[in-house]
């Protein structure tokens, strides 16, 4: 379908039409033509994932296309494209509107605005874009120390970092950030032998490319094989500032790197609930990135095996009635429901996320009375039932379920921290389908459930 004249599609501007597509979660490709120029916008389930025009690609192409006048828009079937755009549609629309206003008014951004935008990109790990902006800024403002400081934080050569920091120190020798970054560089230079480095995502200190821990702030950079047995010695003040920074980033754009490093920052601070929720969100945002799924698996395995201790316990929100699965199933496919009856918030959360990733819909309950209420509201396909519960133990709940003609056929897997023959015998006698001893590995939990669903 082709509709001409000034970007209108059935009475909508192109910007409003894109917002409608986002709301309805449609997957389409738009072919945009303006005068002699042609561009493409690719939307998958309502999200703008890629764009291209002339030599431009990604966010830059999308912003450029949205500035065009007298556009002809053709709706096409979605073309298979890899995601190149991490910014939200709203952010791109705002950027395009600003650029269009600048063009129409003949205005230009101030140099400080350019530097601010570059810093925002650097904070979101969009380093190539940040480097381009800062390089242009420093040509116009070569005596701006902050430009040289941020340039040193996004370059991967020790020689260049040293040169940029020297420029910043000459211009602002007493600035606290310049002094601190100079100190970080001096410490790094004494241990790093290669010129190519990466930067700590929390304190910006140069580190070896394959480093697992920052030598300056002592934060672990990812969940490695020795993570959970290593001492916790990260600088909490630096990590709290990093948390604030990454919260700003995800507040202004959809940024997978910010979600990931926010997760790792909370993990270093031993904020277990925040870590688990953020890792789950990270995997949902980028299911194709296997490294994130592997990191979440390591975290779930550790928390499942350690959930019998009080290391993770704290006041948590009331369990939700239903926890959505990791990804939406194919249209027309009904998700299997699992009722998780467990008084430990940590164990309940680990189970919910583990099974949610496998496509199950999770219903949570903290005690026996709540479990019976959930059972009446939504008939689950399987029940995971802890034996030791407040108000009413698991055996009593199981007997009530098995005495009810409506629910007696639902498989019930009992959970307990006691691996004894008497407990297993009592569970079998009451009608339990299977028995799992805590702590258990998440993979074993999934395998057991799959036997009965």
pLDDT at 90: 84
- d(CA 212, CA 437) in angstroms, rounded, equals 34
Beta bridge partners of 43: 28, 48
Cα-based torsion angle of the residue sequence 224, 225, 229, 232 in order, rounded to the nearest 10 degrees: -10
Adjacent-strand bridge partners of 338: 362, 382
- Total residues found in the chain within this entry: 453
DSSP 213: B
Q: Where are the domains of the chain?
A: 2-105, 111-196, 198-306, 337-450
Residue 344 contacts residue 368 (beta carbons within 8 Å): no
| 84, 40 contact by CB (below 8 A) | no
Tell me which CATH code domain 111-196 carries: 1.25.40.10
* pLDDT for position 331: 44
How far is Cα 262 from Cα 202, in angstroms, rounded to an integer? 9
Rg of the Cα atoms in the chain: 27
Q: What gap in Å lies between CA 375 and CA 12, rounded to an integer?
A: 47
Q: State residue 5's pLDDT score.
A: 38
Strands of the sheet containing 47-53, edge to edge, are: 2-3, 72-77, 28-34, 37-44, 47-53, 56-57
For residues 325 and 366, the answer to whether their CB atoms sit within 8 Å is: no
Q: How far apart are CA 245 and CA 239, in angstroms?
A: 10
pLDDT digit of tens for each residue in the chain (453 aa)? 444 333 445 556 778 778 888 888 889 999 887 776 788 999 998 899 999 987 788 888 898 888 887 777 888 888 888 899 988 888 888 888 887 777 665 555 678 888 988 999 999 999 999 999 999 999 999 999 999 999 999 999 999 999 999 999 999 999 999 999 999 999 999 999 999 999 999 999 999 999 999 999 999 999 998 999 998 899 999 999 999 999 989 887 889 999 999 999 999 999 988 898 899 889 988 888 999 999 998 998 888 777 554 455 554 444 444 554 444 444 446 789 999 999 888 888 889 988 988 889 999 998 888 888 888 888 899 999 998 888 788 888 898 998 888 898 999 998 887 655 555 566 566 678 888 888 788 888 999 999 998
State the alpha helices, DSSP H only, in 269-403.
Answer: 272-285, 290-306, 345-357, 368-377, 394-402
Q: Which CATH superfamily is domain 337-450 in?
A: Response regulator (3.40.50.2300)
CATH number among 2.60.40, 1.25.40, 1.10.3470, 3.10.20, domain 198-306 = 1.25.40
The answer to whether the CB of 33 falls within 8 A of the CB of 5 is no
Q: Name 73's bridge partners.
A: 3, 32
Report which of 446, 413, 410, 445 is spatially closest to residue 428, judged by C-alpha positions: 413
How many whole angstroms separate alpha carbon 3 and alpha carbon 406?
56
Fold match, 198-306 / 337-450: no
- Per-residue pLDDT at 306: 72
């Amino acid at each position: 379908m082709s509709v001409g004249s000034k970007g209108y599609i059935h009475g909508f501007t192109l910007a409003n039409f894109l917002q409608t597509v986002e709301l309805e979660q449609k997957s389409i490709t738009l072919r945009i033509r303006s005068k002699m120029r042609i561009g493409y916008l690719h939307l998958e389930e309502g999200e703008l994932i890629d764009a291209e025009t002339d030599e431009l690609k990604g966010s830059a192409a999308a912003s450029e296309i949205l500035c065009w006048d007298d556009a002809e828009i053709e709706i096409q079937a979605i073309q298979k494209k890899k995601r190149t755009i991490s910014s939200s549609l709203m952010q791109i629309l705002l950027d395009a509107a600003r650029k269009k206003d600048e063009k129409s008014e003949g205005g230009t951004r101030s140099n400080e605005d350019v530097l601010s935008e570059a810093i925002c990109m650097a904070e979101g790990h969009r380093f190539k874009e940040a480097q381009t902006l800062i390089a242009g800024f420093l040509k116009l403002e070569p005596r701006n120390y902050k430009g040289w400081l941020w340039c040193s934080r996004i370059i991967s050569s020790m020689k260049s970092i040293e040169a940029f920091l020297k420029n910043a120190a000459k211009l602002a020798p007493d600035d606290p950030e310049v002094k601190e970054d100079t100190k970080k560089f001096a410490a790094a230079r004494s241990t790093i032998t290669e010129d190519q480095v990466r930067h700590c995502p929390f304190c910006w200190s140069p580190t070896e490319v394959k480093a697992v821990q920052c030598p300056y702030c002592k934060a672990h950079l990812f969940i490695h094989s020795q993570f959970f047995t290593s001492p916790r010695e990260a600088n909490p003040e630096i990590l709290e500032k990093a948390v604030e920074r990454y919260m700003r980033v995800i507040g202004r754009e959809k940024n997978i790197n910010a979600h990931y490093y926010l997760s790792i920052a909370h993990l270093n601070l031993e904020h277990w609930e925040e870590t688990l929720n953020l890792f789950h969100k990270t995997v949902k945002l980028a299911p194709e990135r296997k490294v994130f799924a592997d990191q979440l698996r390591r975290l779930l395995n550790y928390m499942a095996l350690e959930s019998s201790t009080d290391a993770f316990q704290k006041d948590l929100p009331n369990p939700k009635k239903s926890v959505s699965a990791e990804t939406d199933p194919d249209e027309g496919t009904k998700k299997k429901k699992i009722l998780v009856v467990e008084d430990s918030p940590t164990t309940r959360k680990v189970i919910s996320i583990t099974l949610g990733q496998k496509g199950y819909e999770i219903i949570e309950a903290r005690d026996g009375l709540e479990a019976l209420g959930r059972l009446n509201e939504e008939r689950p396909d399987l029940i995971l039932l802890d034996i030791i519960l407040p108000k009413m133990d698991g055996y009593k709940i199981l007997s009530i379920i098995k005495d009810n003609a409506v629910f007696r056929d639902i498989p019930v897997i009992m959970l307990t921290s006691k691996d004894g023959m008497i407990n297993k015998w009592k569970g079998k006698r009451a009608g339990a389908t299977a028995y799992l001893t805590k702590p258990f590995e998440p993979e074993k939990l999934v395998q057991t459930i799959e036997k009965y669903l």
